[in-house]
Amino acid sequence: MSLDLSLRGRHALVCGASAGIGRAAARALAGLGAEVTALARSQDALAALLAELQSAGAPAARALATDLDDLGAAQSSIQRLLRANGPVHVLINNSGGPPSGALLEAKPDDFLAAFRRHVLASHTLVGLVLPGMRAAQYGRIVNVVSTSVREPIAGLGVSNTIRGAMAAWAKTLSKELPPGVTINNVLPGFTATERLASLKESMAKRQSTTPDAVEKAWLATVPEGRLGRPEEIAAAIAFLASPAASYIRGVSLPVDGGRLSSI
């Protein structure tokens, strides 16, 4: 039996595509033959990606500069995209996590901003693309979340809270989506991205230590003994977006080098 990974004839919308895991995911989906729309806030950051996507195999690649913090503007942008380019069959929900910090230091507005960016933005996007997925009898929604869904990470109080909400939202939705349309979460572990580098710097300052010491402490918990690469997370995302993953629904898949202790 051959493994059907082809996304020929499918249109993928990848959020947070200008850097890190989002950028790697856009390239991976292009490599499977998907038409890719790359969404991020910066038009300039996206422009350099389009040639990469076409070289990787995307029959069409386009940039969509919009800010998911502005739900009204984002909704209008996606509606224009759908009218001009047809339905989206693969949606990758991915956006930058909340700032680090202890939970007791968080203010109500910190939670509201993070909830809006992650849960409400993802819910809005699903509502927009679902009619096209339903009509095609094919849909893949993949949320890039965090291993904190399983085990909270010290110093990421707001993020731990919002990631848990995302996982609960996705699991609930998995029971309501029609056949042929799946939703799953990928839980990256410590991955070599700009976001992780920034987090390492901020944690080092709070702990009065060095970024190298912070990373060494992280790696001591990872059996693989290294940071993950964005491409490794993207490979899991691409698989879940493919026809081969048609019977996988409502799961949270850690891609963390074995760090999690939970079963």
Q: What is the pLDDT of residue 1?
A: 63
Does the predicted TM-score (pTM) go above 0.85? yes
CA separation, residue 7 to residues 11, 14, 58, 147 (Å): 8, 14, 10, 27
Rounded CA separation 124/214 (Å) = 36
Which stretch of DSSP H or E encloses residue 254? strand 252-255
Task: Name the band, by pLDDT with cuts 50, 70 and 90, for residue 234.
Answer: very high
Q: Which bin fits 91, alpha (ψ -120 to 50), beta or left (φ > 0)?
A: beta
Rounded CA separation 168/174 (Å) = 10
Could you tell me where the beta strands, DSSP code E, fall in 56-162?
A: 61-65, 90-93, 139-144
Among 21, 16, 90, 35, smallest CA distance to 240 is for 90
Rounded CA separation 214/219 (Å) = 9
Task: Specify the CATH number for 11-189+229-254; select among 3.30.930.10, 3.40.50.720, 3.40.50.620, 3.30.70.2860.
Answer: 3.40.50.720
Rounded CA separation 28/231 (Å) = 8
As to burial, measured by CB atoms within 10 angstroms (0-12 exposed, 13-18 middle, 19+ buried), residue 44 is: exposed
Could you read off the pLDDT of 89-125 as tens digits, one per residue? 999 999 988 888 899 999 999 999 999 999 999 999 9
| 180-188 average pLDDT score | 98
Could you read off the pLDDT of 134-183 as tens digits, one per residue? 999 999 999 999 999 999 998 899 999 999 999 999 999 999 999 999 99
Q: What is the pLDDT of residue 66?
A: 94
Q: What are the sequence ranges of the domains in the chain?
A: 11-189+229-254, 190-227
| 223-241 average pLDDT score | 97
Could you read off the pLDDT of 34-58 as tens digits, one per residue? 999 999 998 888 988 999 999 999 9
Q: What is the mean pLDDT of the chain?
A: 95
